[in-house]
Structure 1
Amino acid sequence: MIRILLAEDDLAMRSYLARALENAGYDVVAVDRGTAALPWLERERFDLLLSDIVMPEMDGIELAQRCAEISPQTKVIFITGFAAVTLKANREAPQAKVLSKPFHLRDLVLEVQRVFGLPSQASI
């Protein structure tokens, strides 16, 4: 089973995304900020880091850079509501995918499937 570490500071969005990914068959650990994600990355293996870019304490780009050091096999998808932040993410973490809010949950699940080369079967 694919394990996803979700870092999203907005409680409603975090709950919504975690529930959708779990319903799609993924094992999800959800945290409210980048600094809370680091201990998880250090002690457990995750296949995917799904991170908001704009968060307090540590933004998603810095988190992805730290993830690359700690767990280089972990893939990264960013989620953001800010177009300018998307451009910065593409420059500073070019190996990462970026989903711009708003997006449909089906799009998120399809993007996760694409990242892992899985057949598309989003039923959300």
Structure 2
Amino acid sequence: MTKNSTPRILLAEDEEAMRVYLERALSKAGYEVSSVDRGTEAIPLLESQEFDLLLSDIVMPEMDGIELAQRCAEISPRTKVMFITGFAAVSLRASREQPHAKVLSKPFHLRDLVLEVERVFEEQRQASL
């Protein structure tokens, strides 16, 4: 976890309505959220700031979420990764290429997203004990 007590999430989602919706829900759940609309915009943030979780759509322009997750692992190996996608085949590819990353398929209820994010942080807390 980052040094402050509020977990930090980097959200990469190219669909504006979904990005705003997710950012608002995660902020209301008590997380500090930075959001970008493409993977290439996430890289400088990963290089300059600490994040506890990268929450990324898989299908995005310029750099897909799987490539972003691979770059994240190089830049910030402690940052956990969670994918969101509306495509089942893409979900299977993500599971193969990033086996430790959680994949949440659209459509999902915001409550489910928040619960999954909480699980990721709880696993991280348990691992650090």
TM-score bracket relative to the smaller structure: over 0.9
Deviation at 1:24, TM superposition (A): 0.3
Following TM superposition, the consecutive aligned residue runs of length 4 or more in structure 1 with deviations greater than 6 angstroms are none
User: Which residue is 1:108 aligned to?
Assistant: 113
**2:118, 2:19 → 1: CA distance?**
19
Describe how 1:1-124 pairs up with structure 2 within 5 A: 1-117=6-122
User: Which structure carries more helix by proportion?
Assistant: 2
Q: Among the aligned pairs, what percent are the same residue?
A: 77
Gaps of 5+ in 1: 119-124
CA-to-partner distance for each residue in 1:59-103, whole Å, 9 max, x for gaps?
Answer: 000000000000000000000000000000000010100000000
Q: Give the TM-score of the pair, scaled to structure 2.
A: 0.90
* C-alpha distance in structure 2 between counterparts of 1:101 and 1:74, whole Å: 23
* Alignment root-mean-square deviation, CA: 0.7
Aligned to 1:6, the other structure's residue is in SS state strand
Q: Which runs of 5+ in 2 are unaligned?
A: 1-5, 124-129
- Count of residue pairs brought into register by the alignment: 118
